[in-house]
Structure 1
Amino acid sequence: MSGNSFGKIFTLKTYGESHGRMIGGIIDGCPSGLKLNLKKIQKELNRRKPGQSNIVTQRKEDDKVSLLSGILDGVTTGTPIGFSIENLNYKENDYHHIHKVYRPSHADFVYEKKYGIRDYRGGGRSSARETATRVVAGAIAKQLIKGIKITAFVSSVGSIHLNKPYHKLNLYCLEDTPVRCPDPLVAGKMIEQIKIIRKAGDTLGGVISCIIQGVPVGLGRPIFNKLHADLGEAMLSINAVKGFEYGSGFSSVQMRGSAHNDIFNANETTKTNFSGGIQGGLSNGMDIYFRVAFKPIATIMRKQNSIDIKGKISYLEGRGRHDPCVVPRAVPIVEAMTALVIADHWLLNKIIF
């Protein structure tokens, strides 16, 4: 099975399954001499870990990262950084009922058809448990790209939307509510909606918005590795993501060019930022902003029809501990994948210039 690596210079290769002994990864391409704040790495993992509030999965995992190589006295040596996160609260028995049945809208069916075998214990590699490894790498990437600030937040849950532009929000209060929405009133409505849907045994989708500030002009490559294309690839690699748009996105189709063009100011900034900080595949120095759409997760606590491994009609009902809405815990994952992309292009620019 290939496809377990991300990045071109600053790279991450991950391993492990949802209910195996551990998950982990190897980061390559991180320059030597970077003084790491190890507490910040663990803090990012704590933002993603399960069991942190009553609106997320109640699986209890400490998600303590063990850094195994590539760091000496808290400073990177330039060699590969190996790390692991032990799985402490795995429950294989929660999944015996789907050993021979495919879960609707999961990767079960396609994995078994492609590889001839699948890990039915929570989906194995296809589980969102794998994303904890991305958060570790992203936390290190954030410390590499000093001066560049990445902030993601929940901007919608189901039918509840946050309609204020990001520059009118207090993005420093994201951790004040478990849903990670910077507007307390809207956050309260989102939380209530999640609680209602959880009680009904169902799930909800949502949208995460992300802002990148302090990006220098010229990150990206103008043809096949456009900066927004690499950001899109990163976001679409996250479990449950169904859509990505940057800048004015799909709303731009309703505008005329005369209204959509970003007119320059004398100081090389622009009066508007419909481009989303990227033009011709390269960063232009303005804020980069994008949105990521997450589907309602497929595991629901209701009986559903399906088929078994012999193709016969069967049924199943979700068991175990699952998120009724994935977006609150996905915020640090979006930030991490963003940091990996920016760090990769930042290093590429240093090599070229």
Structure 2
Amino acid sequence: MSGNTLGNLFAVTNFGESHGPAIGCVIDGCPPGMALSEADIQPELDRRRPGTSKFVTQRQEADQVEILSGVYQGRTTGTPIALLIRNTDQRSKDYGDIAQRFRPGHADYTYWRKYGLRDPRGGGRSSARLTAPTVAAGAVARKWLREKYGTTFRGCMTQVGELAIGFENWQHVDQNPFFAPIADVSAIENYMGALRKAGDSCGARLRVTAQHMPVGLGEPIYDRLDADIAHALMGLNAVKGVEIGDGFASVAHKGSTHGDSLRADPCGSFASNHDGGVLGGISTGQDLEVAIAIKPTSSILVPRASIDETGAPVELITKGRHDPCVGIRATPIAEALLVLVVMEHALRWRAQCADVPVPNGF
């Protein structure tokens, strides 16, 4: 009931608070025998790390991962893998003004009403800081899926605020701080500069995809692959919408054009991918195509009306170091969550259907 664990066969339990001594996770169910070291995990954490550009929070965290258990002589043992990331740049005094007041759009009020108390320092457990262990766990699963099936994952930003971002090439994504698939990001820089000057924030739309997917991952009804993808990605801070394939655009399609026609050459391939690589909750072998909508950052410098813990009205601004758009650093996190769902279903398939023969010609 605690809601801090994602997955069953590949179970990732997340722990820590934004301004506590450390954050981390425990991975239970990783198959044994895979070569694993901190060097396999660190590059993904570096992609998500704060303070990497002037457009994100200037909190300086090295996010150096430590493997505490589950690896012996460089290989996974099949026992729980504990990953630790120490917090080193907390500034808890920045949150003194909101200790008894609730930021509009933030989890302050709901945490207080649910638990009867809350940790206001950086949002405590509700902070996006807690996505770092998710990225670390995703790096472990990503390595196993790549070695086992050749499955790869990537993502990009397709919109920031009102500014739509076209697609040019995947190679551009890691060449700019926005994970934008374009060469010239000056328009995004200007947009974000104006937003930061105004003390305001904006939302974003991201695309995440998995290539070289195995066929047959997912369950028929309640544990559908696409349902679990939506469940996981809605667990990412500030996400307000998840689309699989064409998503809401499917409403305007005709059945004569939306259904992805099967082809005989090569056998079992598809002429299109409107359904985003999932049919009946089960993977088709096509690319998984997922999009998410992220709302504007709640911690801003624009004064807003709220209340305090006595119910009295207050006017609130939030000082400190915050992302003007949490979507800027969210691409590696969204990728990791998609990885974790695919990993879970890959292990489920292996447990139930590994002996199912592949039909002739496929």
The answer to whether residue 18 in structure 2 is matched with residue 8 in structure 1 is no
Partner residue of 2:175? Answer: 176
Q: Deviations over 1:26-56 (max 9, x none)?
A: 0000010011253231011011111001110
Matches within 5 A, 1:161-240: 161-164=164-167, 169-185=168-184, 187-240=185-238
Q: CA deviation at 1:261?
A: 1.3
After superposition, give the CA deviation of every residue in 1:114-159 in whole Å (9 maximum; x if it has no partner): 1111001111100100000100000001001020011111111011
Give the CA deviation at 1:188.
Answer: 2.5
Q: In the aligned structure 1, how far is the partner of 2:253 from the partner of 2:2?
A: 42
CA distance in 2, matches of 1:37, 1:89: 25
Corresponding pairs, count: 348
Structure 2 length-normalised TM: 0.94
Q: Which amino acid aligns with 2:83?
A: F
Confirm whether residue 276 of structure 1 aligns to residue 279 of structure 2: no
Does structure 1 residue 245 correspond to structure 2 residue 243?
Answer: yes
- Matching of residues 301-312 of structure 1 within 5 Å: 301-312=301-312
Residue equivalent to 2:109:
109
Q: Distance in 2 between matches of 1:158 and 1:37?
A: 38
Q: Please say if residues 209 and 288 of structure 2, whose CA atoms lie closer than 8 Å, have aligned partners that are also in contact.
A: yes
Match of 1:129 in 2: 129
Whole-angstrom distance in 1 between the partners of 2:276 and 2:259: 12
Residue 349 (1) aligns with residue 349 (2): yes
Offset of residue 319 of structure 1: 0.5
Deviations 1:164-221 (A, max 9, x none): 4xxxx42123111111101123x33222211110111000111110111100110000
- Contact kept in structure 2, 1:154 and 1:181, CA below 8 Å: yes
Instruction: Determine if contact 2:242/2:291 at 8 Å carries over to the other structure.
Output: yes
Q: Deviations along 1:257-302, whole A, 9 cap, x unmatched? A: 0011111111211111111111000001111101000001111112
Asked whether the 8 Å contact 1:38–1:74 carries over to 2, the reply is no
Q: In structure 2, what residue type is equivalent to 1:118?
A: R
Aligned to 2:262: 264
Contact kept in structure 1, 2:111 and 2:118, CA below 8 Å: yes
Percent identical residues: 44
Tell me, in whole angstroms, the C-alpha distance in 2 between the residues paired with 1:220 and 1:241.
23
Q: Does residue 39 of structure 2 align to residue 36 of structure 1?
A: no
- Which residue identity lines up with residue 177 of structure 1 in the other structure? N
| Aligned equivalents of 1:26, 1:262: Cα separation in 2 | 39
Residue type of the alignment partner of 1:348: R
Q: Which runs of 5+ in 2 are unaligned?
A: 355-362
Between the aligned partners of 1:57 and 1:348, the Cα distance in structure 2 is: 39
Residue 155 of structure 2 corresponds to: 152
Letter of the 1:174 partner, please give it: V
2:238/2:294 contact within 8 Å kept: yes
- Could you tell me which residue of structure 1 aligns to residue 357 of structure 2? none
* C-alpha separation in 2, matches of 1:157 and 1:52: 18
Whether contact under 8 Å (2:48, 2:333) holds in the other structure is: yes
Pairing of 1:13-28 with structure 2 (within 5 A): 13-28=13-28
Whole-Å separation in 2 of the counterparts to 1:314 and 1:184: 45
Measure the CA separation in 2 of the matches of 1:73 and 1:327: 38
Q: State the secondary structure of the residue aligned to 1:289.
A: strand
Give the distance between the partners of 1:37 and 1:96, measured in 2 at CA. Answer: 39
Give a deviation string over 1:38-79, Cα, whole Å, max 9, x none. Answer: 323101101111100111000001111111000112210100
Q: Normalising to structure 1: TM-score of the pair? A: 0.96
Q: Is the 8 A contact 2:37 2:67 kept in 1?
A: no
SS in structure 2 of the partner of residue 180 of structure 1: coil
Note the residue ranges of structure 1 that are not aligned, 5 or more in a row: none
Contact 2:38 2:66 in 1 (8 A): no
* Root mean square deviation of aligned Cα: 1.1
